[in-house]
Structures are given as structure tokens and as C-alpha cells.
Amino acid sequence: MPKLSTRQKKNLEKTKNFISTNLNEAIKLLKETATTKFVESVELHANLNINPKYADQQLRTTVTLPNGVGKQIRIAVLTNDENFSEAELAGADIIGNDSLIEQITKGNIQFDLLIATPNMMPKLAKLGRVLGPKGLMPSPKSGTVTNTITETLTEFKKGKFEYKADKTGIVHVNFGKINFTDQQLVENLSELYASILQNRPSGVKGKYFKSLFICTSMGPSIKLDLDIFN
């Protein structure tokens, strides 16, 4: 069993058997456990009462947090030639059609998000095995298949992103950086919780949230009371 460092032991002492009933208190403790030398990300881990193998119990949606997540993303746009100028003006980092598909086929993926116009989707079908496991396959549900290129790019550049529950029904999402202000983290976390709640799958029966935890990239989990947002 790996030996815990002094830093890890001290952090575990602060969070052991602790359940936060106040968001400001939770964020304060979160910052106290961010003791590494780099700016850590902060994460929400929500265990939901869903079974994603059933279509009516799947959670996959998008959210735009009020203060972003502190990360600049590279966006590629797959479209036909006449839309290249619009995509460039809207801030796309990579623009292409068949040449971009060829690069993806070779495994040359230099973007964090791929937006495609509907007419290009049939050509992308063969790349599902490449893009799917990386979470990069465009889909209408995530807003990444669109004819409104400028509007879509603007939204994603502002911080809109997709999240989904994994196969065990848990949502793992970054909601900022530890150098955000307490208020910014509270606002982001509240908005993320509201998004998960509002997109409750229709097949969920009874209690929706089973447990809620927040943590930093290298810190221990902090358990939140399920009524903390009420």
C-alpha cells in the first residue's frame, strides 16, 4: 500500500467524517486542502440514482458556468468551403473538411472540441471509433452539430461544455480552478448542480442524488449534505 505523504495525512485529517451543510464552508475547506505547488482544478462528483444502460436513465447535456472553468479550449470546425470565413471570424482554431477528416483518421487530433455542420456528419460516421472514446464525436444533443456556426462557437468559447454520467451513474465534472474566488466557485457549483437537477432523466424513480462530493485535483473528497443547495 502506498505511503501517504505528510501533506496527504494533514488533508485527510481535515476532511475525515466531515459532511458540509454550507457551501461557503465547503469551498473554504476545499481551498485549505489545495496544498500542491500548482493551480489545481476543482471537481464535483455526483453519484446519481440512475442506470445509464436504459435510454430513459441517461444523462448527457451541456452547461455554461457563470465564471467558466479556467481553461481555454481549441475548437475545430468541420464544414464545407463556403463556411470557412464565418468559422474563422467566429474564432475557430482549426477549420477543414475532407483534409481535416484525413488528419483525424491518422490520429492527428489537435483540438479539444469538434463542431460539425449536419452535411458533414455522414463523412464522420466512419470515425466513431476514433472520436467516440475521446468524447469528441459531434452530436445534436450536445450542440456540436449545427448550422449556426457563429452562435455555437461563441457559446463554447464562453465556456459552454458537455458532461454526462458514466456507466455507473456518476457525474465527474470540473467546475473551476482553486485560484477562483470563493464566490465564483460557489456560483459555478450551484449552476452545475441546478443543471444536473433540471436534466433529471425521465426514467428516474424516487431519490435522484445518492451522494455529492467535491475535491481538488490532488486533494481528498469533501462530502456535501444532499440538502446543501436547498
CA 159/CA 112 separation, integer angstroms: 12
Whole-model pTM?
A: 0.80
Confidence at residue 157, expressed as pLDDT on a 0 to 100 scale: 87
Q: What is the DSSP string of 92-128?
A: -SEEESHHHHHHHHTT----SEEEE-GGGHHHHGGGH
Residues 6+ apart with CB under 8 A from 190: 23, 229
Q: Looking at residue 1, what is its pLDDT?
A: 47
Residue 66 DSSP symbol: T
CA distance 22 to 24: 6
Task: Single out the residue of 39, 46, 45, 69 nearest to residue 156, CA to CA.
Answer: 69
CA angle 186, 178, 227 (to 5 degrees): 30
- If the chain, 230 residues long, is cut into consecutive pieces of 10 residues, what is the mean pLDDT of each piece? 64 72 94 90 97 94 91 92 95 94 92 95 89 90 92 90 93 96 97 97 95 94 94
Alpha helices in the chain (DSSP H): 6-15, 23-32, 84-89, 98-105, 121-124, 128-131, 149-157, 182-198
Domains and CATH numbers, the chain: 18-69+161-224 (3.30.190.20), 75-157 (3.40.50.790)
